[in-house]
A and B are shown apart, each in its own frame.
Chain A
């Protein structure tokens, strides 16, 4: 059973490999990721692909808005990590 903090760390690990030029240390979990980091639609597809490759987690297209902020990511992904 992963805690929300552990889920957050796994998401951060993925984003760190995508937003390679960004500093993630001051991330505001409530704010949209796109407003804080240099992320575009291709990057969000990368996040979806890495969730699938690393953790076998599927994110259907209709759920992409759930990846808007770190807190919404954790809320949406925690149950999937803990299946």
Chain B
């Protein structure tokens, strides 16, 4: 009774490949190893108009799967997407020659897209071209259209199926995966490249807006700047990154004898309808409960909850209330959070953080939180894995990802069993 069920569709959807880049590694093995070692991916870097800020940058090879010319033409988000898509296919031993190109879909979650290019163009317009718009680049539109990152993947890999992005603030990583699941269930495609990406460390506007909101994480030691759930947390550390999953129907995965990381057994998304930026613990709890119900599970069946926990004062408290409400009487449900290690990867966060936890199915370890020196008493929830990794049997993960305008998402992945 754990398959995702819709009114008429009973296919099981599985993850057969993961490609990622993060501030803590450029593939799943590297990310997992560094999470278990307790490393930080946060450094100081220069942000236009703002000077040195804590941030999380990725260090993958942009030319691994893309020519120099096409990298220059495209965007950082496109480069991240192309890298992750190739890595996912490689990881899943999937040769696109073995599938009709129009049966592959690309669905990528984004928090925002276009800020980087727009800021750069305006900077040049004012500083180099005396506001003469004749120098505005013809590349502006193809770089800033919302589908750009997914479109660059299709151009690079000659995929002729659908591609688009899912704009869902910082819930987007989960929503990209959910979109892939839904399109497979609908029979629209036979292979989905789905996940989330972010290029937000290239835009000062995101940093400046969090600063104006009093929610930009900072510390003399950048590795201490992102402190979700700690008493002294002071805000979000912005990161870039991406995680793209190969999603297939179980029957297709079995037919090609694919390695199966896990099965997506449930999900839910809802809206707070209460505030532009302040989260709502009641709706968050409702989101988790409905995802669990859709999966045909009980809260106690969940072995690991990955919190969204961004490191803002109120956001962390609200989510802790929600998690405690749902899991307070579940002695075998552990809770962790990832942003203390890699910061907030925005549109990539949900997809990246899920990837960081999926190896728990196989190595039987739960990575802890990072930078909780003094746990906020208001965040002292049951079975929080605070500072030391924990050995445990993990067969079901619930991954939370929430965002501005009150968008919530919870995704449940289960270790594959026949």
Instruction: Spell out A's residues near B (CB within 8 Å).
Output: 18-21, 38, 42-43, 45-46, 49, 52-53
| Chain A residue with Cβ nearest B142 | A42
Would you call B137 and A49 a contact (CB within 8 A)? yes
Q: How many A-B residue pairs have CB under 8 A?
A: 24
**Beta-carbon nearest neighbor of B128 in chain A:** A53
- B interface majority secondary structure: helix
Contact status A20-B138, CB under 8 Å: no
| Residue positions of B touching A, CB distance < 8 A | 67-69, 72-73, 134-135, 137-139, 142
Nearest residue (CB) in B for A48 is: B138
**Is B138's CB under 8 angstroms from A42's CB?**
yes
- A43: chain B residues at CB < 8 Å are 69
Contact A20 B67 (CB under 8 A): yes
Indicate if the CB atoms of B135 and A52 lie closer than 8 Å.
yes
Min Cβ gap A32→B in Å is: 18
Interface of A: prevailing SS: helix
Asked whether B69 lies within 8 Å of A53 as measured between CB atoms, the reply is no
In the assembly, what is the distance between CA of A13 and CA of B69, in Å?
15
19 pairs, CB–CB < 8 Å, chain A vs chain B: A18-B69, A19-B69, A20-B68, A20-B69, A21-B67, A21-B69, A38-B67, A38-B69, A42-B73, A42-B138, A42-B139, A42-B142, A43-B69, A45-B138, A46-B138, A49-B135, A49-B138, A52-B134, A53-B135
What residues of chain B lie closer than 8 Å to A19, measured between beta carbons?
Answer: 69
Complex CA–CA separation, A6 to B72 (angstroms): 27
> In angstroms, how far is the closest chain B Cβ from the Cβ of A77?
18
Q: Which residue of A lies closest to B67 (CB)?
A: A21
In the complex the two chains form, is A21's CB within 8 Å of B138's CB?
no
Q: With both chains docked as a complex, state the minimum distance between the C-beta of A55 and any C-beta of chain B, in angstroms.
A: 13
**B123 CB to closest chain A CB, in angstroms?**
15
